[in-house]
Structure 1
Amino acid sequence: MRLTILGGGGFRVPLVYRALLDDPGRAVSEVVLHDTDPRRVAVIAGVLERLAQGHPAPVPVRVADGLDEALEGAGFVFSAIRVGGTSGRIRDERIPLSEGVLGQETVGAGGVLYGLRTIPVALHIAERVTALAPDAWVINFTNPAGMVTEAMSQVLGDRVIGICDSPVGLVRRAARAAGADPAALADPGRAGYDYVGLNHLGWLRSLTLDGTDLLPGLLADEDALASFEEGRLFGADWLRTLGALPNEYLHYYYFRRETLDSVRDTRETRGEFLDHQQGGFFERAAAADGPEAVYALWERTRLEREETYMAHSREASGGWQRDAHDLEGGGYDRVALALMHGILADTGTRLILNVRNGTTVPQLAPDAIVETVCEVGAQGARPLPCAPLREDQLGLMLQVKAVERATVEAALFKDRDAALRALALHPLVDSPTVAARILERAAERA
């Protein structure tokens, strides 16, 4: 089966390829890379070449000349594009910050601006997939993952599935902190978990192993909560008040003032850090002497990237450093591979994915994309029933979903009113006047 990776010059592509090499099921027979930046994709192809060295049966890799060539004959398509590059991300962050509101790339005004720029390109990809590989499954990595998946689903229906490693990382860390083996979570006969929300806005509300819900005991244990990322990020008092473990990105909502204070006067936003770091990596890698040197440089750069993840939120919650378990996370590569195996082998695997809602959250439209526990089989990913949402959870979901759908509408129809509505209604934007200025400045700098 051929796997096509759009955004094949992306920094995380080697993680996917390494997972494919380690896959005993050998689900993929060829990897095709496509990227709009020839230099970047050439460098990443070099990293993959180093990974393949010495492997008894490496997966062949090919760089396609164009989008249509990359898509034709694909069984799976990973969409991991970044429209506008890191320079676009910098604008998405800096423009809102200059107006006194958060500008993260998937959350708040920054997420809306990124979505407006990305959705038209994602829709074009969906249309070309329909024309050239109608039986392919599209796995969307592209941020903002929820709204991009929702836009692509208007063309691809249930054949596009969004993935994120934040939820599975949270589940694994919570299980370990509660004294359970995270590997046991893979057995649906023993383990279960209730996670529901939107991408980068969800809650782990139960974690059951052998008939016992581990979450109440974990929430009551101060030391256990202090042993993992989300516990340190949100603090024991607030987590006990919530009665659930939030996705790490909810820190922007619950601790808006503290995070804004941390980032407002920063010399370097996350986008600026990545622009310098990855720009430097690709420059040095292009001049490096052979695949071994390129690979070593990639590994060092990757570790630095993971260590500095969500640095401003960690600074706002005490300035702690990520440990080995925090860095392990959930792994886009492992989630994607498990999803592919679940579809190809009709396994009934349970994963947290971004899919059409159906009746999972009755207050949302059936075609709205939600992030929740799904059962994966030959027909794709089916969201499982979940317990009713609390009013605070549902209220936040409804408001942010209205923002996402307005962003899709604005991108589809170039509708300024819909774009303004998306920005002004976001919980992290405190004024329609501010929203209008952000929209105007973004248009000027596009």
Structure 2
Amino acid sequence: MTLKLVVIGGGSSYTPEIIEGVLKRHHQLSFTEIVLVDIEEGKEKVKIIADLAKRMIQQEKKEIKLSWTLDLEYALREAEFVTTQIRVGGLDARERDERIPLSHGFIGQETNGAGGILKAFRTFPVMLQIAEAVHRICPEAWMINFTNPAGIITEALLKYSTHKKVIGVCNIPYHMQQSAAEILEVNADQVLVEFIGLNHFVFGRRVEVNGIDYTEELTERLDHNHAKYSPANIIHLGSSKAFMQNMKLIPNPYHQYYYQTKDMLATQQRAYKNGETRAKAVKQLEKQLFAIYQDSALTKKPEQLEERGGAFYSEVACRLMDSLYNNRKDIQTVNTLNNGAIKELPDDAVIEVNCFITKDGPEPITIVSLPMAVKGDILQMKAFEELVIEAGISGDYHQAYQAFLANPLIKDEKRAKALLDEMLAANHKELPQFMIGG
């Protein structure tokens, strides 16, 4: 029996993560073929990654055929799983997403604020084309989306593409669970966190260890001393005791942008004035990683990849594919259609929530109601996400402005237009849906 995986964006430095995950779970999820797909600009990188992946497979003595191609439609033939990890415009676009907002006095971050909006705008046309190709060539394949902003991209695909077997994944909930286990000094498989909210705006409402509520104990222990609670790609400021004790919710690392905006902005602007951004650091790290990847003696994922910020990527993606394929009905946190799980949100809204994973897809676990403390914030964020999707699909300038104004990290009616106009102009090559101006 054959089982085929297609990795779109195969030239990503993260790809060794997913190869490692496939090899680790090969006794449960026996892929016989993996095809790495990229575009012309990524040709050299995907060749390097493919060579490393082959060495990794050979080292583990697994019978997996691995190849790379620039031909998406050829790659998709007879695929059962398709993962997407693309960055339209590359790291140069990411650097614009960080620098331009900072130059206007706003948070500069690749998936939050103005940078996240433009990343979504650039990504929608490409991801819709990919989804249509998947539906035409391998309609039964599950499309596992890791492309950020993952929740927004997943909702856009489910609303506007013909392919409906789409699930969004993020390593943040899994990272939070692992960190909770470390802080509570227990094994991670003993911990269950009830997640509620949206991608990069998800909260832990209850933390259980072997079925016993440990939420209060975790909030007591989780403070600024636990730097490992944030992945490598997010500045760690830590949450105050007042926030933890009064909210009675477990924040995720991205909440620092929303609940400590002034401090996060000040930290970013100090780096920006010194000519430093996360994108610049990632560019340098990528050079180092690909130099390491070319070492013919390398047969495993190098430790340096952890500095890239994608910890647990392989575990999240491969665990999900395993459960879909083997109908495990276990609980995982994914981005999927609400379908009544959160009563305050529409059924067709994509949420990040615990689900039972079956062969037919995720089944969201119903949540009685959003916690009052964050209900308004979550509803506002979902309304903002919907504006981003409508604007990014239609290319409507007025909706784009509305999305900028609705974003909690912008919300300045005088400065929003200048920021929007500069970002649209700077990204015009990757925005075919927009008639630049307004």
With normalisation by structure 1, the TM-score equals: 0.87
Residues 377-413 of structure 1: CA deviation (Å, up to 9, x unaligned): 0110111012421233121111111221111111211
SS in 1 for 2:203: strand
CA distance in 2, matches of 1:374, 1:304: 30
Residue 153 of structure 1 is matched in structure 2 by 158
Residue 435 of structure 2 is matched in structure 1 by none
Residue 213 of structure 2 is matched in structure 1 by 213
CA distance in 2, matches of 1:415, 1:224: 42
Residue 434 of structure 2 is matched in structure 1 by none
Residue 29 of structure 1 is matched in structure 2 by 32
**Higher share in helix:** 1
C-alpha change, 1:366 and 1:86, in structure 2 (3 Å) is same
The answer to which of 52-61 and 338-347 deviates more is 52-61
C-alpha change, 1:120 and 1:208, in structure 2 (3 Å) is same
Aligned partners of 1:357 and 1:369 also within 8 Å: yes
Q: Shift of residue 228 of structure 1?
A: 5.1
C-alpha change, 1:12 and 1:69, in structure 2 (3 Å) is same
CA distance in 1, matches of 2:404, 2:163: 27
Which structure 2 residue ranges, 5 or more long, are not aligned? 231-235, 428-438
Aligned partners of 2:4 and 2:78 also within 8 Å: yes
Residue 419 of structure 1 is matched in structure 2 by 400
SS in 2 for 1:245: coil
SS in 2 for 1:406: helix
SS in 1 for 2:401: helix
Q: Of 215, 229, 248, which residue of structure 2 is paired with 1:243?
A: 248
Aligned partners of 1:218 and 1:224 also within 8 Å: no
CA distance in 1, matches of 2:59, 2:217: 47
Length, aligned pairs only: 413
CA distance in 1, matches of 2:190, 2:332: 14
Identity of aligned residues (%): 31
Q: Of 334, 341, 345, which residue of structure 1 is paired with 2:322?
A: 341
Residues 160-213 of structure 1: CA deviation (Å, up to 9, x unaligned): 00001111111222133223321224xxxxxx4311111000111111234420
SS in 1 for 2:111: coil
CA distance in 2, matches of 1:2, 1:82: 23
Residues 141-160 of structure 1: CA deviation (Å, up to 9, x unaligned): 00010110111112256410
Q: Within the alignment, does 1:439 sit opposite 2:424 as a pair?
A: no
Residue 373 of structure 1 is matched in structure 2 by 354
RMSD: 2.2
Residue 269 of structure 1 is matched in structure 2 by 277
C-alpha change, 1:131 and 1:221, in structure 2 (3 Å) is closer
1:17-416 aligned within 5 A: 17-23=19-25, 24-36=27-39, 37-154=42-159, 155-156=161-162, 158-185=164-191, 192-221=192-221, 226=226, 229=229, 233-266=238-271, 267-279=275-287, 281-282=289-290, 284=291, 288=294, 290-292=295-297, 299=302, 301-306=304-309, 331-416=312-397
With normalisation by structure 2, the TM-score equals: 0.89
CA distance in 2, matches of 1:174, 1:232: 17
Task: Tell me the amino acid that sits aligned with residue 90 of structure 1.
Answer: E
Q: Shift of residue 222 of structure 1?
A: 6.9
Which structure 1 residue ranges, 5 or more long, are not aligned? 186-191, 310-328
CA distance in 2, matches of 1:224, 1:278: 29
